[in-house]
Amino acid sequence: MYKALGIRWFLLLTVLPLAAGLIYALLYSLGLAGILGNGFTLAYWQSVFAEGVVWRSLGYSAYIATASMSLACLLALGLVIKLRTAFQKGILSYVIYFPLAIPAMVAAFISFQLLGKAGLFSRLTYALGLTESLQSFPDLVNDFWGIGIIFSHSLMAFPFLLLLFLGTYEGERLGELKQIAKTLGAGEGYISRKIVAPILLKQNFAAILLYFIFVLGSYEIPLLLGREAPQMISVLTIRKLQRYDLLDKPEAYIIALIYCVLVLTAMVISLRRSKILQKN
Amino acid sequence: MQKGFTYLLAALILLPFSLLLLLSLAEGWSFPSILPDAWTAEHWSRLFQLDGDLGQSLLLSIGISLFVATVATISGFLTSRFIAYSPFRERYLIMAYCPFVLSPVVYAACIHFFFIKMGLSGHIGGVLIGQLIIAYPFAVIICHGHWNERIRSMEQLVATLGGSRREAFQKVILPLSKGILLVCFFQCYLISWFEYGLTTLIGVGKVQTMTLKVFQYINEADIYLAALSSWLLFLPPAILLWFNKRFVFREVNVS
Amino acid sequence: MIHCERLNKRFGSEQVLEEVSFSLAERETLSVLGRSGSGKTTLLKILAGLESADEGEILLKGQRINEQSPQERGIVYLYQEALLFPHLNVFENLAFGLRLRRTPSPEVKRAVEEMLARLGLSEQASKMPYQLSGGQKQRVSFGRALIINPKVLLLDEPFGALDVETRSSMQAFLKEVSLEYQITAIFVTHDLKEALLMGDRIGYMRAGKLDIYDSKEAFVQDPRTEAQSEIEFWKRYQS
C-alpha cells in the first residue's frame, strides 16, 4: 500500500512534469498548441533548421563547456599532484570548500567585479602602469570568446573536481600504486602523467561529464557575462520565449526540445556505462 | 616554498569574498583606486529595516528553501526505499536523473504552461512546486544508495527478534539514517537557495528571492547592494560548512 | 519441534528449493552443509518468515506457521555478519528484544547483566560495536537472540567471517550455550568439520534438494559429501 503510494508520488513529481513538458513543447512546435496553434505545420522546424542559430548556439555552448572543464580539470589535477597534502590539513583544507557555497549568480557578479573594465584587475594593471585608462583594459566580460563565462565556470568547477580527485586518490590507493611504480623505476613526471592523472580522470569520468552537461545548460552566468550573439543554449531559449514577436515562441520550444533530447540521451548512455546504476 | 604557495593560493581563493565584503561596505569606489573612497554601514542597515524589501527577500528565501528542503528530504527518503528495492530500480533512477541534468530554466519553460493553467504562475505556491520538482528527484538520488543489503538485513533481524516494521523504522533505521538525512536536507536547501532561472520564470519575477534580488541590483547597477546580497547568499551555507564540510560537498555520482 | 513438508521455492526460472522435507526435535541441532547457491539461505529465510514458500507446509510444535509473520514465529535468524546496531552500545544491543516486549527496566537490567556475564563480556557493556573484535561481536549477536528465548535459532554461517582460532573457540562456546539454554537450532555451513562438530544430525544440500543422514557415520560414508576424500588426504601423511 505504502509502496504504491510512494511510487505514485515519485511518478507525479518526476515523470509526469517531464513528459507533460516535452509533449507540450512538441505540440507547440508543430502548431498544435498555444496562441499560434492553427493546425499542424512543420514551418517552425524548417525555419529553425534553415536559420542555423540553434547550431551556432549549441556549438558555442559546447565550446564554453569544453574550455571550462578542461581548464578546471587541469588546475585540479595539477594541484592534487603537486600540493595534495596541503589540501588535507591546514588553511587550504577549509578554504577550498568556500567556493562551493557560491551560487552561479554570485559567481557571475564576482567575475564582473574582477574582470570588467572597471574591475579590480583593471585597477591593478593601471596602478602598475600596464594600462593607461579604463578603455585600454581588454574586454574580458561580454566578449566574443566568452572569457568571463569560462573564467566563472572554471572557478566554480575546480574546487569541486579537486575534492573529487582527493577522494579518489585515497579510495584507489594511489599512494601505494605510486610506490610500486617507483620501485619499478618510474620517475615522478612519468608517474603523474601515466598513472595518477589517467586514473583520476577515468574514475571520475561520469562526474566530469555530468558537470559538463551542467555548464552546457547554464543560465545565470552567460546571461550576465555573455553577448547578444552567439548565445548559450539556455539564454537563447528564454530570450526567444520572452520576445514580443510571437513567431519566436515555437522556435524557443524547438530549441528546448533539441537540447533536452541531446542532454538526456548523453546522460542515459553515460549512466549505463558508469557504475552509478549498479547495485552496491 | 610550498608553504608560501599554500598561503598565496588561500588568499587567491578568499579574494572574491573579500572583494564582495569591501563592496558592501563601500560608499563609492571610483576607478583607479584600489580601495573604496569611503566606508559606510548604510547598506547593511537596510537589511534590518522592517519594511525594507531586502530583509523581506531574505526571509522569503529562507522560508521557501526550508519548505522545499523539508518536503524533498522526507518524501525522497521514504520513496527512495521503494525505488531501491524495486525490480525496476534502474529505470526509476534514470528518470530521477532527468530533471537533475536538465537546465532548470529550460525545464521551467517547458512546464510553465501547466502552472499558468493551474493559476500557480506568479505565486509562491508555483515556485515551491517548481523547486520541488527539481529538488525531490535529487533527494531520491542521494538517498537511494542508503538502502543497501545491510540496512535490509537489519530490518529483517528486527522482525525475527519480534519487532514490528514501525519499531524497526523508529528504533533502528531512523537513528542509522541521521547522517544521510542531514546531507540530503542541506543539499536540497542549497538547490532551492541558489535557484534563479526557474524561480524567475515560474514566479514571473514576482516571487523575489535573494538570487532575484542580486540580479535586480546588478541590473540597476547598484553594485554595493548586489555585493551585500551576494554575501547574504553565501553566508548561511558557509557557516554550515564550517561546522561540517561534508554537508556542502557531495559527489555527483552518489552511490 | 519443527517439521517441514515438501517445501518448494522458485525465483523466476530457477528452482531454489525442491521438495525439502525434514523434522527437528526439541533441543536438537541440525547441521546443513552445502556449497554457496545451493539454497541453504533461502531455506532459513523461509523458516524465519522473511521469504515465503511457493508450496509445502511448515509446522512449529504441530501448528502450521506458513502464514505467520516473522514477528509472531519466535524464530530468530542470524547472519554471517553480526549485524549489531551501530548506534547502540553492547548493553542496549542485548536489551533490544526485551525492550520490544516492553519488559520492565529492572528486569531488563538483570537479564542483560546475566547474559553479559555468561558471554564473558561484562567489561564491555558500555562499548560501542565498532570497539569490539569479530568474536566479541558474534557473541553479542548470539546473546541478543538468546535473551528472548527463541523457539528456534537459525544460524547462517555464523563463523564465516572469523579467523581460524576465533572460529574454533566460538564453536566450543556455541556448543556450550546451546546445551545450557537447551536450544533448538539449524546450523548452516560450508565447512565439513564444522558441520560434524556442531550438529547432532547432518543434512546435505545440493541444487535445492536436502538429504538428511540417519547418523554421522552414514554421512561420512556417502562419497558425495567428500568426507571420504578428506580422510584419504590426511591418511597420506600418516606414519
**pLDDT of B253:** 37
Is the pLDDT assigned to residue A184 strictly greater than 90? Answer: no
Tens of pLDDT, residues B130-161: 999 999 999 999 999 889 888 989 999 999 99
**pLDDT of B251:** 44
Q: What percent of chain A has pLDDT over 70?
A: 98
CA separation for the pair B115, B98 (Å, rounded) = 20
Q: Give pLDDT < 50 ranges for chain B.
A: 250-255
CA separation for the pair C162, A268 (Å, rounded) = 42
Cell numbers at A262, concatenated = 541531446
**pLDDT of B32:** 81
C166: confidence class by pLDDT, cuts 50, 70, 90: confident
- Whose CA is closest to A64, among A268, A211, A237, A242? A211
Higher pLDDT, A189 or C185: C185
- Which other chains touch chain B, taking contact as 3+ CB pairs less than 8 Å apart? A, C
DSSP A36: T
Report the range of poorest mean pLDDT among A34-43, A110-119, B157-166, C100-109: A34-43
How many Cβ pairs within 8 Å bridge chains A and B?
A: 239
Tens of pLDDT, residues C219-233: 888 888 788 888 888
Cell numbers at B138, concatenated = 535529487
**pLDDT of B1:** 65
- Whose CA is closest to C205, among C28, C67, C40, C68? C40
Phi, psi of C3 (to 5 degrees): -140, 130
A248: confidence class by pLDDT, cuts 50, 70, 90: confident
Q: Which of B34, B96, B242 sits opposite A127 (nearest CB)?
A: B34
Q: Are strands C55-60 and C2-11 parallel, antiparallel or unpaired?
A: antiparallel
Q: What average pLDDT score do residues A32-60 get?
A: 85
| Residue C164: Cβ-neighbour burial (10 angstroms; 0-12, 13-18, 19+) | exposed
Exposure string over C186-205, b if 16+ CB within 10 A, otherwise e: bbbbbbbebbbbbbebbbbb
Residues of chain B contacting residue A84, judged by C-beta atoms under 8 Å apart:
none
- Selected residues 97-136 of chain A with any CB under 8 Å from a CB in chain B: 97-106, 109-110, 112-114, 118, 120, 123-124, 126-127, 134
**pLDDT of B36:** 83
**pLDDT of B245:** 67
Q: Do residues A197 and A81 touch, judged by C-beta distance below 8 A?
A: yes
Q: How far is CA C113 from CA C84, C95, C106, C108, C109, in A?
A: 18, 10, 11, 8, 6
- Whose CA is closest to B154, among B174, B183, B180? B174
CA separation for the pair B152, C81 (Å, rounded) = 13
Q: Contact A18/B98, CB-based, under 8 Å? A: yes
- Whose CA is closest to C158, among C148, C149, C144, C147? C144
Q: What dihedral angle (degrees, nearest 10) is formed by the CA atoms of A225, A231, A237, A242?
A: 70
Cβ of B8 under 8 Å from any chain A Cβ? no
Closest Cα in chain C to B157: C77
How many Cβ pairs within 8 Å bridge chains B and C?
A: 59
Residues of chain B contacting residue A206, judged by C-beta atoms under 8 Å apart:
252-253
Name B51's Cβ contacts closer than 8 Å, sequence gap at least 6: none
Residues of chain B contacting residue C70, judged by C-beta atoms under 8 Å apart:
156, 159-160
Q: What percent of chain C has pLDDT over 90?
A: 37
Q: Contact B167/C50, CB-based, under 8 Å? A: no
Bridge partners of C156, per DSSP, are C188
- Selected residues 52-91 of chain A with any CB under 8 Å from a CB in chain B: 79, 83, 86, 90-91
CA separation for the pair B188, B194 (Å, rounded) = 10
- Whose CA is closest to B192, among B110, B132, B126? B132
Q: Which of B150, B160, B176 sits opposite C77 (nearest CB)?
A: B160
Q: What average pLDDT score do residues A195-222 get?
A: 91
Residues of chain A contacting residue B253, judged by C-beta atoms under 8 Å apart:
204, 206-207, 210, 274-276
- Selected residues 151-190 of chain B with any CB under 8 Å from a CB in chain A: none
DSSP B208: -
Q: What average pLDDT score do residues A235-246 get?
A: 87
**pLDDT of B255:** 31
Q: Which of B161, B167, B176 sits opposite C86 (nearest CB)?
A: B176
**pLDDT of A14:** 93
Exposure string over A174-190, b if 16+ CB within 10 A, otherwise e: beeebeebeeeeeeeee
Is the pLDDT assigned to residue A9 strictly greater than 80? Answer: yes
Q: What average pLDDT score do residues C190-208 get?
A: 89
**pLDDT of B247:** 58
CA separation for the pair B181, B143 (Å, rounded) = 8
- Whose CA is closest to B254, among B76, B65, B62? B76
Cβ of A237 under 8 Å from any chain B Cβ? yes
Q: Contact B241/A100, CB-based, under 8 Å? A: yes
Report the range of poorest mean pLDDT among B24-38, C31-45, C116-130: B24-38
Q: Global pTM? A: 0.86
Cell 551560487 belongs to residue: A103
Q: What average pLDDT score do residues A109-117 get?
A: 92
Tens of pLDDT, residues A68-83: 999 999 999 999 998 8
| Residue C212: Cβ-neighbour burial (10 angstroms; 0-12, 13-18, 19+) | middle
Tens of pLDDT, residues C128-161: 999 999 889 999 999 999 998 888 999 999 888 8
CA separation for the pair A224, A183 (Å, rounded) = 52
Q: Which of B156, B162, B172 sits opposite C50 (nearest CB)?
A: B156
Q: What average pLDDT score do residues C165-171 get?
A: 89
Higher pLDDT, A136 or B197: B197
Higher pLDDT, C170 or A272: C170
**pLDDT of C208:** 87
Mutation for testing the B interface, residue in A18, A111, A212 having most B CBs under 10 Å: A18
